[in-house]
A and B are shown apart, each in its own frame.
Chain A
Amino acid sequence: KAGVTQTPRYLIKTRGQQVTLSCSPISGHRSVSWYQQTPGQGLQFLFEYFSETQRNKGNFPGRFSGRQFSNSRSEMNVSTLELGDSALYLCASSQGGTGGNSPLHFGNGTRLTVT
Chain B
Amino acid sequence: QKEVEQNSGPLSVPEGAIASLNCTYSDRGSQSFFWYRQYSGKSPELIMSIYSNGDKEDGRFTAQLNKASQYVSLLIRDSQPSDSATYLCAVGFLGTASKLTFGTGTRLQVTL
Which residues of B sit under 8 angstroms from A35, Cβ to Cβ? 102
B104 touches A108 (CB 8 A): no
A97 to B88, CA, bound (A): 22
A45 touches B100 (CB 8 A): yes
B49 touches A103 (CB 8 A): yes
Q: Which of A48, A90, A109 contacts B98 (CB 8 A)?
A: A48
Residues of A within 8 A of B (CB): 31, 33, 35, 41-45, 48, 55-56, 58, 90, 92, 94, 96-109
A33 touches B44 (CB 8 A): no
Number of chain B residues whose Cβ lies closer than 8 Å to a Cβ of chain A: 26
Please report which residues of chain B, range 70-112, place their CB below 8 angstroms from some CB of chain A when the two chains form the complex.
88, 90, 92, 94-105
Closest to A95 in B: B97
A56 touches B94 (CB 8 A): no
A98 to B90, CA, bound (A): 16
A100 to B56, CA, bound (A): 15
Closest to B103 in A: A42
A98 touches B104 (CB 8 A): no
